[in-house]
Structure 1
């Protein structure tokens, strides 16, 4: 039952953006079933309903892997599922995406507010800006930005997803989850600072925190690198 891995995308993308990573993991994880899962519908719903909806949609006793917003949702859900989740893995997911009291290594609230306003006035312009930020720090950032922009998805849920990003706080979830945890950060991430690594580690001494990859978009740009680390982590936990 534990040989199933569900992958959640980040804000602004459909789950298909992570198909190459899913394919790589399906090949590398012997006996596993790897499933891409779109983010739940969020428009008009509060966070508790969103999480309950996601819990219902996902199979029991599965590993959870999420990118950015997907990683924050996966971490929160893992702590709620307890023994029904053998482990959770996040990439470029801060405990709090927006800085707040007690958590300063995050996006400044003023920066987030400016981006939110841009998206509310001109969503396509906001998405283009988002693609640029995702690719910043990558080896071929301009090319990657164009590729990401072509893979983005806009909907009535876009602003609701930003609301969710601003509200989520996974500090308690990371602290209390007793299953396997791996939280990966990108060295040059323009959205989630790699400098938060020590703060994440301090939340749970048994969690693993790695700095791996270049940019926020490494799940798209550095598929093999991430797949190797994820496969190694799950394999070690399976044999622990």
Structure 2
């Protein structure tokens, strides 16, 4: 097994949101270095991938949660064989629905959310944590956890992240990346439709896809032990496959 797994956090979330998952991974495999990384705090969305490529280690496994997973896919495709494997956590191929990928957030819903964030970021971020937690076993506690660890970001940085969520299309990256892929979804996700899991598997039958039926978009916080088991099993398969 490779010694390092680098995980990118999601939009408007700090690496602390992935800490329960890191703890679960470390408890099972103490020698595995799990590196949690924030997204770039840059106002130009076109600079984000370059910043990540310059900052993140080039060896080991690469993954991310939501927007972090979408960016990890782009980076994995760029690095090719230098990336041992790709892991997406509640990360859709396209976050905003479009022709050819309707299993995503409806465009009008996304556009209204982005406009609301521009008008009142504080209230929109609070609403966002509720959406992340929606469908979870204890949604209120989950939302509170997210609110307590939410980073303070400039409005331009928040909007740059939303622009990436609107524009990124991971189909070319996932299709060209030569390494193993694991994509984990949540059955009660209010931000990424559960149907995206089957759509991805239908489109790329060779990748591994798993859906945690009774989980929200906050899957890494909500079911870290189960998630850790799935990730480590995938990494072991990748090492021997």
Q: 1:174 corresponds to which residue?
A: 174
Structure 1 distance, partners of 2:235, 2:163, is 32
Q: 2:84 corresponds to which residue?
A: 86
Structure 2 distance, partners of 1:11, 1:36, is 14
Asked whether the equivalents of residues 136 and 190 of structure 1 are also in contact (C-alpha less than 8 Å), the reply is: yes
- The reply on whether 1:201 has 2:201 as its aligned counterpart is yes
Asked whether the equivalents of residues 63 and 87 of structure 1 are also in contact (C-alpha less than 8 Å), the reply is: yes
Measured after TM superposition, the shift of residue 62 of structure 1 is: 1.9
Measured after TM superposition, the shift of residue 203 of structure 1 is: 3.1
Structure 2 distance, partners of 1:114, 1:198, is 27
Instruction: Deviation per CA, 1:91-140: give whole Å up to 9, x if none.
Output: 11110000011111100111011111111111111011101111111111
Structure 2 distance, partners of 1:53, 1:124, is 26
Structure 2 distance, partners of 1:8, 1:85, is 14
Q: 1:210 corresponds to which residue?
A: 210
Q: 2:19 corresponds to which residue?
A: 19
Q: 2:59 corresponds to which residue?
A: 61
The CA RMSD measured in Å over matched residues stands at 1.5
Q: TM-score by structure 2 length? A: 0.94
Q: 1:186 corresponds to which residue?
A: 186
Q: Secondary structure at the match of 1:191?
A: coil
Asked whether the equivalents of residues 90 and 217 of structure 2 are also in contact (C-alpha less than 8 Å), the reply is: yes
Structure 1 distance, partners of 2:166, 2:36, is 24
Q: Secondary structure at the match of 1:154?
A: coil
Instruction: Deviation per CA, 1:125-158: give whole Å up to 9, x if none.
Output: 1011101111111111122222222222231211
Asked whether the equivalents of residues 96 and 166 of structure 2 are also in contact (C-alpha less than 8 Å), the reply is: yes
Measured after TM superposition, the shift of residue 27 of structure 1 is: 2.8
Question: After the TM superposition, which residues 27-106 of structure 1 pair with which residues of structure 2 at under 5 Å, given as runs?
Answer: 27-29=27-29, 31-46=31-46, 49-106=47-104
Q: 1:222 corresponds to which residue?
A: 223
Measured after TM superposition, the shift of residue 71 of structure 1 is: 0.5
Asked whether the equivalents of residues 41 and 153 of structure 2 are also in contact (C-alpha less than 8 Å), the reply is: no
Asked whether the equivalents of residues 24 and 224 of structure 1 are also in contact (C-alpha less than 8 Å), the reply is: yes
Q: 2:130 corresponds to which residue?
A: 132
Measured after TM superposition, the shift of residue 30 of structure 1 is: 5.1
Structure 2 distance, partners of 1:45, 1:172, is 19
